[in-house]
Amino acid sequence: MANQTVAEQLVDMLVQAGVERIYGVVGDSLNPVTDAVRRSPKIEWVQVRHEEAAAFAAGAEAQITGKLTACAGSCGPGNLHLINGLYDAHRSSAPVVAIAAHIPSEDIGTSYFQETHPDRLFQECSHYAEMIQTPDQMPQTAQIAIQTAIGRGGVSVLVLPGDVAGMDLPRRRTEMALATGGPTVRPGEVEVERLAAMVDEAERVTLFCGRGVADAHDEVMAFAEKALAPVGHALRGKEWIQYDNPFDVGMSGLLGYGAAYEAMHECDLLILLGTDFPYRPFLPDNVRIAQVDIRPEALGRRSRLDHGVCGDVRETLRAVTPRVRRKTDRRFLDRMLRKHADVLENVVSAYTTDVEHHKPIHPEYVAAVLDDEAADDAIFTVDTGMCNVWAARYLSPNGRRRMIGSYTHGSMANAMPQAIGAQLPSMARQVIAMAGDGGFSMLMGDFLTLVHYGLPVKVLVFNNSSLSMVDLEMLVAGLPPHATTYPDTDYAAIARASGAHGVRIEDPRDVRSGLRDVLDHDGPALLDVVTDPNALSIPPRITGQQLTGFALATSKMVLQGGVGRMIQIARSNLRSIPRP
Ligand SMILES: Cc1ncc(C[n+]2csc(CCOP(=O)(O)OP(=O)(O)O)c2C)c(N)n1
Ligand SMILES: [Mg+2]
């Protein structure tokens, strides 16, 4: 049997690790890799138009399936285009192997045509970024890259000069195991005991949940029930904890709503569960804080820390809950649940007046209708910008729906490319990209990828002809908005010209039928909804701090606006409060 090339062995190993497709754009230096993919029946090449979309798609597929995924770019500019999507994947802990093809090995260091240094460039957005300089480094380098991406959750980059990729390996890889199972991190006994003791010492405990509570819904509920603790969440925790949760007090942060902020400040023990929530001004500094995180480096980096526990949230709570004394005083919990319902009651009445006749169309109305009409197991991908606000407030999670965005990296243009990666592994599932017009137009070329592969993704463009989130930030900072508007663009016409189904809506009475039309279409479709750029009112109280710097990020301001079905949930949670 002929020897394998480096590229063939790499592709084989990716297949063995469960990778089903490589997103990318071909190029000379990548030819040995693309050719190995072409000849393998178990993996396909997904031909995108911009490598950034490839990285976003790979990151999204990994976040939806939990499996390793891959993307690739040719030497120099080709792989450089991956970088923003890789930052997003890495910061979302999505296991992705990126193949960065490189210039011919003998020319490295000579300022050769297209020369960059990917092993340096990708350092910061990966756990592992190494160059394969000789075939003798295989299979170890690929093994390390794969296992690191899976085991540590994030990106590995393999830099591969085109000539080395095509070289024969000196030896065939004897069948060796790849460790493709992630770890379970159990906390230490001493840490568990101490956390249980702190819970017993506290009178009022509040939980604040991030993505680390994924797969720990039951454990969080069991703990909250025993400690009578209100449960708030950060945006990344929403899809995992906001449903079937009688302790829900909403979300804290810039886009927050409800009583999460109060519950976190009025408790005497705050437990941060699997969250790297970044905004210090929203975190209290005068209550005890315990934090549970699988990443030791996350403990205490955002707030004071009275006790840090390194461990899975699920494992930690399984160990802690049986050791805490059941609390009997519900006053704090009930007060927070009531407060939560009251706050929501007020914002709802402020926003819902006559919204069905409001022109331009109110984006919150569109989001509310979307929540109604979308499938129970829909995947939503959400653009950075105001779409984050609409998703945070109007999408109702249920344990089956998914909702991913660029929540940690905060990049624009993520939603549509992420939808590509969310759709490919399950073509029958409803995938909806909630896109801003700014975000959509930024990587619009890859709308053609939906058409190319017949991906039935539904793109919902909130078309306010502006970079509205920044508009708002400028206003809050006391600056006149500048460079935030665009000429009106008919994205539905662009969709139709690309060969997809496209519908444009300008009248609020057509929102529901337009959405149904697009959701029911059997193929790629785009709904272009012309929305009001001035959708949110600015809270009257503006603090000195908001006048400088990145206004929204440093403020304690909670944007005013509606909250959709959250109000029903809050009301029904109130009904479960026992009557005295
Ligand atoms: C790649 C990138 N560029 C710029 C920004 C700064 N930024 C954040 S939100 C935003 C506006 C987004 O506009 P659009 O997609 O139209 O959404 P809207 O807020 O109008 O709903 C900008 C420019 C960013 N986060 N990412
Ligand atoms: Mg916009």
Contact in structure between 264 and 284 (CB atoms under 8 Å) = yes
- Check whether the bond before 363 is cis (ω within 30° of 0): no
Determine the atom of ligand 1 nearest the C-alpha atom of 411. Answer: 26
Question: Which of 277-291, 446-460, 509-523, 538-552 comes out lowest in average pLDDT?
Answer: 538-552
- CB 26, CB 51: distance < 8 Å: no
Sequence-separated (6 or more) residues with CB below 8 Å from residue 339: 249, 259, 262
* Identity of residue 231: V
Cα–Cα distance list, 380 to 369, 390, 548 (Å): 14, 12, 34
Say yes or no to pLDDT of 476 above 50. Answer: yes
Q: Average pLDDT for residues 136-145, to the nearest whole number?
A: 95
Distances (CA, A) of 61 to 19, 66, 259, 286: 10, 8, 34, 41
Segments in 328-399 forming alpha helices (H): 331-351, 363-373, 386-394
Residue 576: pLDDT band (50, 70, 90) is low
- In this prediction, residue 541 carries a pLDDT of 35
| Ligand 2 centre distance from Cα of residue 469 (Å) | 8
Nearest to 352 by CA among 394, 412, 298, 309: 394
Ligand 1, residue 383: give the atom nearest the CA: 15
Type of residue at 171: R
Check pocket membership of 471 for ligand 1, CB cut-off 6 A: no
Helix 331-351 and helix 566-575: axis angle, to 10°?
150
Asked if residue 464 has its Cβ within 6 Å of ligand 1, the reply is yes
**Per-residue pLDDT at 555 exceeds 80:** no
Q: By three-state DSSP, how is residue 526 classified?
A: strand
Q: Is 86 exposed, middle or buried (0-12, 13-18, 19+ CB in 10 A)?
A: buried
* 466/478 Cα distance (integer angstroms): 18
- Identify which has the larger pLDDT, 201 or 570: 201
Mean pLDDT rounded to a whole number for the chain: 91
- Of residues 541 and 431, more confidently modeled: 431
Q: What are 30's two structure tokens?
A: 């990548």
Say how many Å lie between the CA of residue 466 and the centre of ligand 2: 4
Distance, CA 385 to ligand 1 centroid (Å)?
5
Distance 261 CA to ligand 1 centre (A): 26
Atom of ligand 1 nearest to the CA of 436: 15
Strands 248-251 and 307-310: unpaired
* Lowest-pLDDT range of 268-272, 339-343, 568-572: 568-572
In the chain, what's the furthest Cα-to-Cα distance? Answer: 81
pLDDT of residue 580: 47
User: Stretch 164-187: mean pLDDT, rounded?
Assistant: 85
354 pLDDT more than 80 = no
At 173, the pLDDT band (50, 70, 90 cuts) reads: low
Q: What is the pLDDT of residues 77-104, one digit of tens each?
A: 999 999 999 999 999 999 999 999 999 9
Residue 17 to residue 150: CA distance in whole angstroms: 9
Give the highest mean pLDDT range of 165-179, 358-372, 383-397, 399-413: 399-413
Higher pLDDT, 537 or 80: 80
- Residue 402 CA to its chain's centroid (Å): 10
> Tokens 């950034």 sit at which residue?
52
Q: Are 89 and 58 in contact (CB under 8 A)?
A: yes
Ligand 1 center–CA 409 separation, angstroms: 12
pLDDT at 183: 86
Q: Tokens 């409803």 label which residue?
A: 430
Per mean pLDDT, which range of 171-180, 354-363, 407-416, 555-564 is the poorest?
A: 555-564
pLDDT of residue 473: 79
SS3 318: helix
Question: How confident is the model over 221-268, as pLDDT tens digits?
Answer: 999 999 999 999 999 999 999 999 999 999 988 778 889 999 999 999
pLDDT in tens, 437-474: 999 999 999 999 999 999 999 999 999 999 998 888 78
pLDDT band at 356 (very low <50, low <70, confident <90, very high): confident
- pTM for the structure as a whole: 0.94
Q: Which residue has the higher pLDDT, 174 or 201?
A: 201
Q: Is the beta carbon of 416 within 6 A of some atom in ligand 1?
A: no
Which two structure tokens, joined as six digits, stand for 382? Answer: 């959400």
Percent of the chain surpassing pLDDT 90: 80
Kindly give the number of the ligand 1 atom that is closest to the alpha carbon of 467. 13
Q: Is 472 in the pocket of ligand 1 (CB under 6 A)?
A: no
Q: Quick count: other Cβ atoms within 10 Å of Cβ 243?
A: 16
Q: How far apart, in Å, are the Cα atoms of 192 and each of 134, 240, 319?
A: 48, 23, 7
Report how far apart, in Å, the C-alpha atoms of 545 and of each of 518, 540, 554 are.
44, 15, 7
End-to-end CA distance of the chain: 80
Residue with tokens 């069948």: 175
Task: Give the confidence band of 545 by pLDDT, cuts at 50, 70, 90.
Answer: very low
255 touches ligand 1 (CB under 6 Å)? no
pLDDT value at 2 more than 90:
no
Q: Which ligand is nearest to the CA of 412?
A: 1
Q: At 463, is the secondary structure helix, strand, or coil?
A: strand
Ligand 2 centre and the CA of 371: distance in Å?
20
Pick from 15, 239, 271, 279: which is nearest to 146 by CA? 15
319 vs 470 pLDDT, higher one: 319
Residue 437 Cβ < 6 Å to ligand 1: yes
CA dist., res. 65 & res. 544, Å (int): 44
**CA of 531 relative to ligand 2 center, distance in Å:** 9
Q: How far is the CA of 81 from the centre of ligand 2 (A)?
A: 24
Amino acid at residue number 574: L
Ligand nearest to the CA of 435: 1
Pairing of strands 257-258, 248-251: antiparallel
Q: Is the Cβ–Cβ distance between 224 and 231 less than 8 Å?
A: yes
Higher local confidence (pLDDT), 495 or 536: 495
Q: Which residues contact 220 (CB under 8 A, 6 or more apart)?
A: 207, 209, 213, 231, 241, 273, 313, 317
Residue 50 CA to chain centroid, in angstroms? Answer: 20
pLDDT value, residue 479: 78
Question: Residue 39's CB: how many other CB atoms inside 10 A?
Answer: 10
Question: What is the tens place of the pLDDT at every residue in 392-430?
Answer: 988 999 999 999 999 999 999 999 999 999 999 999 999
pLDDT greater at residue 540 or residue 102:
102
**Ligand 1 binding pocket includes 436 (Cβ within 6 Å):** yes
Q: Which ligand is nearest to the CA of 416?
A: 1
Which residue has 């693309």 as its token pair? Answer: 34
